[in-house]
Every structure is written in structure tokens, then in C-alpha cells.
Chain A
Amino acid sequence: MPGRRFRLDLVTIFLWLLGGGLVLLAVVGSFLTLTQGRISPASWQNLIIAGVALGSVYALIALGYTLVYGILFMINFAHGEVFMWGAFTAFFAATALDDAGVMDSSPLVAFALVLATAMLVSMLVAILLERIAYRPLRGAPRLVPLITAIGASLFLQYTARGFYGSGVRAYPSYGLFDGNLQIGPIRMSVEELVVIGSAVGLMIALYFFINRTRTGRAMRAVSEDKDVAAMMGINVDRIIVTTFAIGGLLAGAAGILYTLLFNQVNFFMGFLPGIKAFTAAVLGGIGNIVGAVLGGLLLGVLEQVGPNLFLSGYGIPSPNQLQDVIAFSVLVLVLIFRPSGFLGRKEGV
């Protein structure tokens, strides 16, 4: 058989060198860090647990991205702001409950109410976004909805700033969520437990919703083939709104869980988590629900463990400064080398 030409493409070589270089850097760094033994196993465990907790938050936000992408093949760039609005608005509910003493007397009730507020507000914002900014542009060339999303993101951020002020607000704490627990060999804070537990609960609820309800089935149909689904009598517009709504609910919950971990809200808090959650969604394969969850967890752990693991071995001062660089680098690497993610993405237009 006559030989097929093997094309060595300059760009491909360059990319592989770059990617390989970065991976090598990370591996060598890890090796150095571990052999230098600067960080104790207990500390590693703390970092990992923290990573899982943070990752759960990312996972919930990532689900919003992935669900919308699965149906509309667009990235809802403003999803980070959906997250922020829930968390910020619920802050006022939390403060009110704190003033009324409910936070201390029945923290679980308080938590539930705050959670509900955030989820509701986020859902509302998501629905408004879809209706006003995205629906009119459904057939437009790619660039247009993306730019709209960016504009919407700015608008939402600065509206929050205008309404609520530019200051950072500290969330009041819930009565019994202080302190640490010991579960077997694992030591974690109560807050981390609540975060992980709530996230898992929501994901299970989502699973059941998508796989066991009629609406869930309709959502799956629409994400397979919009036109055929419409022909089967499914109201595609309504399903799209539902998808945004669910993404909003999850993002709102993520907002509250985030405040459990970090205690503060401000108008800009949606930007970074938004991008990182998007990274997580892509990591797992955009459009793939399980992928979003796994991607989120992986990214959270990477973010907490990574700086210390990869960089402190080199003696780099304050490696945690570069934790966002690691997250972004992961994003860039994944999008370049495996844009379909680890579990494979939806085949898009």
C-alpha cells in the first residue's frame, strides 16, 4: 500500500511542547514538594477536603453551564452573575433572620430559608436572562449571543453594585455550624460537611428529576434534537426556560454554600467562580452532566492542592497567589488538547 504522508505540523509540535512542558513542570514540582516533606499528611488531608468542598460548589455551578450548553450549544457567560445574585440577595434575608434571632435559635430553619431565597432569586435572574437577552438571538451567528452574554454579565454585576453597594458584606454565622468533626480518619469542619452534603443532595435530586420525571425526559429529548422534540409535541421554549431555571436554582444553592466556606459576598464574586465552573464543565465534557460534577470536584481539589503540590517544591514564594493561574492553565490546556473533555461532550453545531 503506498505510504500515507505523515505530516508534522509546526503548530502541533509547538503545542505538544508547551503542554508537555507544563505537565513536566507540575510533575517535577510535585516530586520535589513531596520529597522535601514540607507539608504534613494532616495538612494534605485538610487541603483535599477543602478542595472537595470547593469542588462541590463548582460542580453545582458547572451543572448550570452544562445543562444550558446541552440544549442551546451556547455558553451562558453570565451564569456567574446568576450565582452572585442569589448569594447576595440572600445576604439580606440572612441578616434579617440574624436580627430576629432565628440564626441562633433554629439554625437549620434559617439555613433552609436563606437557601430558598438564594435559589429563588438566582432562578429568577436566570429566567430573565433567557427571556430578554438570549431568546431573541437564537438564530444569530455565534459571536452575537456570546457578546450579549458578556454584556449581560457586566450589567448584572454593576446593577448589583448599584443596588446593594460596592462593599464586601460578611455573612452572619449559623448557630451550630461552627467547629470541626471527626468522621473516621477524616477531619473536616461542619461547614465543609454541610457544603458537601447539600451538594450531593441537590445532585441526587437533579438526577432523579432528569431521569425519572416527564419534564426531565423532555429536557433530554430537546438536548438530543430540538426539532424532533418539537415534532413530538414538546414545548421547546418552555423546556429551555426550565433548563435555565434549574441551572439558576443550582447556582443559587452554590452561592449559599460558597458563603459557608468563604463568609463574604460582594458584587464581583461571580466572575472567578463562574469561569472556574465553566472550566470544570469543559473538563468533564460540556453537555455531560456527570462530567460537570467530576470536573468540578477535580478542579476544586486542583485549586486547593495544586499550588502547594506543584509549586512549593521549587521554592516559589506564596504559591497560593498563583492558584488562579493553575485553574486557568487547566482550562487552557483542556481546551487545547482535549476540548471534548474527559467524558466526552455533546456534538455541537
Chain B
Amino acid sequence: MTDMLLRRALFSGLIGGMAGLHVSLVGMVGTFQSRDLIADVVTVGTIMPMLIAILVGWQAGGPLRSAGLVPGPRDALALGAIAGAAVGLILAALAFLIVTFDINGILANARPALAEILQFGQGPLVGSVILILGLGLFGALGATLHLVPAALARAVTIGGVVTIIVALMEPFLGAVLRNVNLDLIEEFLYASGGLTPVGFVLVFALTAGGVYAWARRGGEVRERVAALPPERRRIGKLIWFAALGALLLLLPQIVGQRLSEVLGTVGLYVLLGLGLNIVVGFAGLLDLGYVAFYAVGAYTTAVLTSPASPAFSPELPFWGALPFVIVAAAFIGLLVGAPVLRLRGDYLAIVTLGFGEIAREIFKSAWAQPVTGGAQGILSIPAPLPFENDPQSIYYPILFFCILAAVAATSLASSRVGRAWNAMREDESVAEATGVNTTNYKLLAFGLGAAFGCVSGALFASKIGVIFADSFNILVSINALALIILGGMGNIAGVVVGALVLVGLPEFLREFAEYRLLIYGAVLVAMMLLRPEGLLPNRTRRAELHEQDDIDDQYEEEAGGGTARPVVT
């Protein structure tokens, strides 16, 4: 076992240890201790150091490409164990510190309770040993992923991730199962907030098995589907869409009231995401002040429809106010777009950020109070008839607009407009020199983005019934940006996935709510470092962001491996 591999293992362990420290001191381990992942076996809190150990073990036991070294099986396990143990050592040191010195005054979470968690309640000596050895074991486990065939490793990893997600989604899935009278299954799978041990094994086996089977046989299935006559495929697609549609329509009934509310919020953010996607993803203009559109839509609706609105008297119904919302959107879209036309990426971002903040401050100010209600906001905003204010009802208009927006965005993407945006995004001056009126197309992007944002704001106002200026802050913009980045810009499915993960998940995982933005920040950085094109990337995006990879792929192709040909969907 060479020096380099050993050093890398120790380094990985060190990094993992830092991550473990961070996660502990920021309070996540402590807070999540109250939630079981696998009932009576392990909590969400304790699984975190374990996952970290697995990750560093995987890193340490793998090949070191830059030196062309590949550790043999025994070495890999040893390296993994060392890395994991290093993490354990650092965490044990933390526990020791907590118990010996009083650092609670500085680090709010460095309390004896934390030490107890880290030491598995076994006291300093025994606990530390268990920690170090245990994490060493998990590190070795991580390393084993390199020792099994790649398909199996992949299946196991995906299986693990999905199972953990299923466990975390207990409040949601449990409620759904109970709602559709599948109580027996619910009891079988879930207990005390997490999966039962049996349930865990079952879900894991099914998922990992499924992924593995697909890896082996999936190619055949896909070929057979592709070989079907186009008529058959058409019908298949229709059935698929019909099923999806039916599911979407029935969803509020299936999931119950509380979760319908969550889905409604997810829908609002899907709308925001689709709109921001046009500005950022299609046209390449990084808008950090997107919340301004949201606010304008919400306030326009509130002012025009609410009986409590101070300035405007005869109340319009929601649908009657909608045209005004669109007009306001066009106006504000141009207002925001015009000044930033000539600005480059970073400056554009900051200016739009400024706009967002200006909007909020103005809406909140005492000066604008006669119209916007100032800091008190506006109350009693009615729902869009014939729907009512209750979550299961308001879901439908939101769904309707989401579908509308998705269709519109898809149409645009594959049209002359979409091509012009793509060109502009890639090389503005050449796009202009090829005949694209970049000024107009930028304004169009802002206008359309504003329209989507304003409609979402209007729906938000109706859904909640009251609005306050402070809810329209930069975090909304960052939320929207984070979700399209996570999901993959330029891609409808990506936006939906992003919204579900970043907006939906925190609602289901209430303990996470406190750490939501911390996780956002980490996710943004991680995504940019590892996978800037998002989880479900758009082909063009991937092509744009992985120049070197394509060159590598080309060489690989010439040498007889892999394919690099894109398939246009």
C-alpha cells in the first residue's frame, strides 16, 4: 500500500471529520436524533456520521487516477477503514472536548447531549472506541463498493439513497397510505417516524434489485419498445400521459389536506421555476431579484380583489383581476429588463438583486401604505372561484397554470425563439451578428418570466389569503434559483423535480426546516462543483458545461468504447 493512497485516505478522513464536526456543531445530529430512520435501530442523527464514513471510505478505497494507482481488495478495505476511523477519531475528540471543557458558551450545540449521542450513550471510553471502530467499519463498507461489479455497486447505492428517502418521507407516504386505506402496508413499513427494520430491508432489496435488474435487462426492454411501430408507441405515450393526468387530478384526494397544501406550494414554486427558467435557463440572464415579479403579481391581485384593500374599492374576482396582473407583469418585466440589457452576468445578478430588495422595501414602506398596506399587508384575499381557499381546492387552479406554463415553455423551447435564446446564451455578439435582435429577445425573456412570476404571485395571494411585504424577500428568489439549478436548467421535468426536492421535502421533513438554507447553500455549491447541469439535465446544458468531457468521449469513441452521440428528444 503506497504512501500516496495512505495519505489520501487520511486526507479523506480528515475532510469527513470536518464534515462530521460541522454537522454536529450546527445542530443537525442533535435535532435529528429525535427522528428514527429505522425504528429502534438508528436515528437520522446517528446515520449522518455513518454516511460520511461510508462516503470517505468509498473515496479512499477507490482508484487514484492522477497516479494511475488502483488498490487491491485488501488494501482498499484497509484504506476505507482507516478513512472511516479517522472520522471517528475526530468526532470522538469532539465528544471528549464537550465533556471535559465547557464550550457551550461559544458553540451553542456543544452540549453533553451531543457527546452522549456520539458516544452511543456508552460513556467516554467505551463510546469512543465504538465510534472509531464502528465508523472504520462503515468506511470499509464504502470501500467495498469498488470491489463489486459496477452495476451492483450502482444498484446498491441507489437502493440505499431511495430507501433513506422513503424512510424520511414517512409523514408523507404514511399519510398517503392511510388515506387510500392501505393501512396494513403502512403499519408494515413504518413505525415511530421511520421504517421498520423489515420494511427497510424490503424497500432496499426491491429498489436495489430493481435497479440491478434494469441494468442487466433494461437495454433489451428499451430496444423492444423502440422497435414497436410508431402507432403503438403513440398509444403508449397517450396512455402514459392519461395516467399521469389522472394521478395529478386525484392527488389532493389521495394525500389529504395537509399534504395538498404542500403540493400547492410546490406548484407555486414550479411556476416560479418555469418562469425563472426562461430568464436564466433559456436566455442566460441571471436574475436574483425574481421575487419582485412574485410580489407585483401578489399585490396587484390583493389590491384589486380584496375587500380589505385600502386603495381600490369595487372588488374584482380573481379571474377578472388576472388580465391586470398580466399587464402589470409586462410592465414590470420591461422595467426590470430594460436597464439590465447591457450588463454582464455578475452585474446583472446584483442589479436584479437590488431591484428585488427595492421592491420589497417600497411595498413595506409607510409611504406606500395607502395602497399596499405597508407593514401590515393586505388581508382577506379571496380564492379564484369556483375554487375555495381550502388546500385541496386551490390545488387545481395552481395545477392548471403549471400545465399551461409547462406547455408554453416547451413550445417556446423548440421554436425559433428558443433557438435564438440558446444562441444568445452561448455567444451574444455572434448571435447578434447572425441576425438575432438580442435586445428584443432579452426583453421578451424578462416579460415572459415576469408573466409566470406574477401569475404565481397572484395564486399565492389567493391561496394564503393574506400577504405581507416581508414574505417577498430574497430567499424566494434564491429558492427558485436553487430549484432550477438542482433540477437542471432548461428542462421542465428538472424544474418539477427541483421543486419537489427543495420545496416539498422540507415540508415533509419538518426537522430539516431549520437547516433548509444551510442545505440549500451546500447543495448549490456541491452541484456547481460536481454536476452543474443539474439532476435531470437538458442535453444542451450538459454539452455546454462539459467541454472537456466531450473531447474525452470523442477519444474514447475512437478507441472503441462508449458513445458520445447526442440523441435529440
Interface size, A (range)? 35 or more
> Are A328 and B354 closer than 8 Å at their CB atoms?
yes
Let me know if A152 is at the binding interface, CB within 8 A: yes
> Are B515 and A321 closer than 8 Å at their CB atoms?
no
Query: Given A18-B339, A154-B517, A159-B22, are A325 and B358 also a contact pair (CB < 8 Å)?
Result: yes
Let me know if B565 is at the binding interface, CB within 8 A: no
- Give bound CA distance, A332 to B515, whole Å: 32
- Give bound CA distance, A325 to B527, whole Å: 33
> Are A318 and B481 closer than 8 Å at their CB atoms?
no
Q: How many A-B residue pairs have CB under 8 A?
A: 160
> Nearest Cβ in chain B — how far from A332, in angstroms?
5
Tell me which residues from 104 to 159 in chain A have a Cβ below 8 Å from any Cβ of chain B: 132-133, 136-137, 140-148, 150-159
Let me know if B408 is at the binding interface, CB within 8 A: no
**Looking across the interface, which residue of chain B has its beta carbon closest to that of A325?**
B361
> Are B367 and A317 closer than 8 Å at their CB atoms?
yes
| Cβ-neighbour of B362 out of A92, A146, A325 (below 8 A) | A325
- Give bound CA distance, A3 to B342, whole Å: 27
Let me know if B529 is at the binding interface, CB within 8 A: yes
Let me know if B286 is at the binding interface, CB within 8 A: yes
Chain A interface: which of B81-89, B102-110, B127-135? B102-110
> Are A336 and B351 closer than 8 Å at their CB atoms?
yes
- Give bound CA distance, A164 to B525, whole Å: 22
**Looking across the interface, which residue of chain B has its beta carbon closest to that of A160?**
B26
> Nearest Cβ in chain B — how far from A110, in angstroms?
18
**Looking across the interface, which residue of chain B has its beta carbon closest to that of A349?**
B344
> Are B529 and A74 closer than 8 Å at their CB atoms?
no
Let me know if B558 is at the binding interface, CB within 8 A: no
Interface size, B (range)? 35 or more
| Cβ-neighbour of A150 out of B106, B364, B524 (below 8 A) | B524
Query: Given A325-B358, A325-B361, are A151 and B521 also a contact pair (CB < 8 Å)?
Result: yes
Q: Which residues of A contact B339 (CB under 8 A)?
A: 15, 18, 332, 336
Q: Mark A269-281, 1 if CB is under 8 A from B, else 0.
A: 0000001001000
Let me know if A322 is at the binding interface, CB within 8 A: yes
Tell me which residues from 124 to 178 in chain B have a Cβ below 8 Å from any Cβ of chain A: none
- Give bound CA distance, A137 to B106, whole Å: 34
Query: Given A18-B339, A147-B485, A331-B350, are A162 and B529 also a contact pair (CB < 8 Å)?
Result: no
> Are A339 and B525 closer than 8 Å at their CB atoms?
no
Closest 7 CB pairs of A and B: A151-B524, A162-B26, A154-B521, A155-B521, A158-B518, A142-B345, A151-B525
Q: What is B's interface to A at a CB cutoff of 8 Å? A: 22, 25-28, 105-109, 280, 284, 286, 288, 338-347, 349-351, 353-355, 357-358, 361-362, 364-367, 439, 478, 481-482, 485, 515, 517-518, 520-525, 527-529, 532, 544-545
Apart from A92-B105, A157-B517, A162-B26, list 19 A-B contacts with CB within 8 A.
A11-B341, A74-B346, A133-B529, A140-B528, A140-B532, A150-B288, A154-B518, A154-B524, A158-B26, A159-B518, A162-B27, A163-B108, A321-B365, A325-B361, A328-B361, A331-B350, A335-B350, A335-B351, A339-B343
